[in-house]
Structure 1
Amino acid sequence: MVISVYEEKDIAIVEDLKKTIKAIIGEENLIYKQDLSQQEIADFYYLVDVFVMSSMFESFGKTAVEAMSRKCAVVSTSVGGLTEVVHKEENLYTKEEYGKGVLRIEKLYQDIAELNKDKDYFYQRYLNLYTRQVYLERHIEVYHDILKLPNTQ
């Protein structure tokens, strides 16, 4: 689990959350990391099967895209850009209906075939929409539209 802590008050919330998770899954099953470097975060994604992004607001969802690029299934709150990035209704939940997210995580934990299907879905979504090459092609297309040049691709 990786948790971003932005404010002093968040530390107490994180400690309470860790205590609750340990009680549910056992301390030996919780890998908790805080204040990781970019490389440590990149390496961490490869250990993750299901990436849970619970956010109150999110302009784009870069963290979810990073997880998708490492073949993680993504379950997320349906806010801001995350709704478009995740784009899979059964993997989106609201803070009012957080139980939907919990049920989805349980389903993925219990059903390896479903988990693998989700991991493939999100990795393909990353390849189709969010790679450097895809963005480069989109930018070139915009430039052609602006300049009214014929698209040579």
Structure 2
Amino acid sequence: MTILVCIPCLMTGGTEIQTLNLVQALVAGGHRVVTVCYFEYSDDMVARFRWSGSEVVCLSPTGARVGGWRGIVFLYKGLRKVLKRYKPDVAHVQYMAPGAIPILLLRLLGFRQIIATAHTAADIYPNLRLVHFIQRHCVRAFTCITELAEQSFFGSSQLYSENTPLKRRNHFTIYNALPAEFSIRREARSFSRPVTLGVVSRLEEIKGMDLVVPAFARIRAKYPDTRLIVVGDGSLRARMQHQAQELGCADGIEWAGRQPQERLSDWYSHMDVVLMPSRSEGFGLTAIEAMANGCVVVASRTGGLPEVVRDREIGLLHTPESIDDMVDKIESLVGNVDLLQRYSTAALEYVGRYGFDRYSRLFNDLYKRLIPMNR
């Protein structure tokens, strides 16, 4: 079948990486995939989608965002042209943005076979009644990326499997997955001092990056050989570097900048503990990438992270925005290499549930079971 994957932008972010996973899974399942991007895009990400087997349509030639009523008219006309040209059997709407308008426009255009995936919890949606209307009346399935997110939307959740009973309208959870090319480390890591901390993130406040250097400075004051590797870039980079100078820990930090996806495993291999002090996190792709490389994750107790990073089993959770609590959790690992080893081994065994093959199998099964129901 022909599947239309709809997404607001094709930049470098977790939602785009997971949408790329979806494209690769559907192409592997023998489907023709067309990705339509409404607004911003990078040439690199467009090229990655095409390399993965998807045709790509960018509605905005310049990548500019169009807002208000002009934006609705722009989307209506763009989606109408795409439907007429490609005649898709299914539309899979990613991120349900902006404001579920693409779903409503698709229905207005007479399209009925729609699947929606929300990549966050319900806290960013001001009107859950609209979400419930969409789920009950507009889409065949509404998928969430964690059970916590699904519960926040609907008050109940279930992990999708090949045995999940399907109704005319459905909601369930299919976990995000490691990128298809990301392999899980086979042998256990071995830890010794000094311990290296790491960050793989956009350097933005929503990711809690303003908290990282102050926490590291306190760890380094007690364990002077500890190092920090920062992979990523963003608006806070200059501020973080200024913090490092002021707090006297700049010589212990390596600033690696933004790195391509295919090189991330090399960087994770140099990190023992990966920090994720996010203020908001729908899922936490970095967490499973780190675990797949045997790193131990210290993350804030927010969004989907408590479900992905099982506290005191495979990693540690701290109070959001609390540098004190984050430092306590990091110190418990830096000062106890045996505990690091135990969590790392457990994480390698656990992270297989987020493998790409399982994700691909579940989504292709969902399509196979859902779409024939109305044929």
Q: Distance in 2 between matches of 1:11 and 1:40?
A: 21
Q: Is the 8 A contact 2:298 2:329 kept in 1?
A: yes
Q: Specify every segment of 5 or more residues in structure 1 that has no aligned partner in the other structure, as ranges.
A: 148-153
1:119: which partner in 2?
A: 344
Q: Specify every segment of 5 or more residues in structure 2 that has no aligned partner in the other structure, as ranges.
A: 1-228
1:63 lines up with 2:292 in the alignment: no
1:91 lines up with 2:304 in the alignment: no
Report the count of equivalent residues. 142
Which structure has the highest strand share of the two? 2
| TM-score (structure 1 length as normaliser) | 0.76
Bigger radius of gyration:
2
Structure 1 residues 31, 96: CA separation in 2 closer, same or farther (over 3 Å shift)?
closer
1:131: which partner in 2?
A: 355
Residue 46 of structure 1: CA displacement?
Answer: 0.7
Residue 39 of structure 1: CA displacement?
Answer: 3.0
The superposition leaves residues 15-43 of structure 1 with CA deviations (integer Å, 9 ceiling, x where unpaired) of 1333366x35x72x432211222233221
Which structure has the highest helix share of the two? 1
Q: Distance in 2 between matches of 1:136 and 1:75?
A: 28
1:17 is matched by which residue type in structure 2?
Answer: Q
1:77: which partner in 2?
A: 300
1:109: which partner in 2?
A: 334
Structure 1 residues 77, 14: CA separation in 2 closer, same or farther (over 3 Å shift)?
same
Q: Is the 8 A contact 1:91 1:101 kept in 2?
A: no
Structure 1 residues 96, 6: CA separation in 2 closer, same or farther (over 3 Å shift)?
closer
2:234 is matched by which residue type in structure 1?
Answer: Y
1:14: which partner in 2?
A: 240
Q: Is the 8 A contact 1:69 1:126 kept in 2?
A: yes
Q: Distance in 2 between matches of 1:16 and 1:94?
A: 25
Q: Is the 8 A contact 2:231 2:259 kept in 1?
A: no
| TM-score (structure 2 length as normaliser) | 0.34
Residue 13 of structure 1: CA displacement?
Answer: 2.1
**Could you say what secondary structure the match of 1:32 adopts?**
strand
Q: Is the 8 A contact 2:297 2:316 kept in 1?
A: yes
1:38: which partner in 2?
A: 261
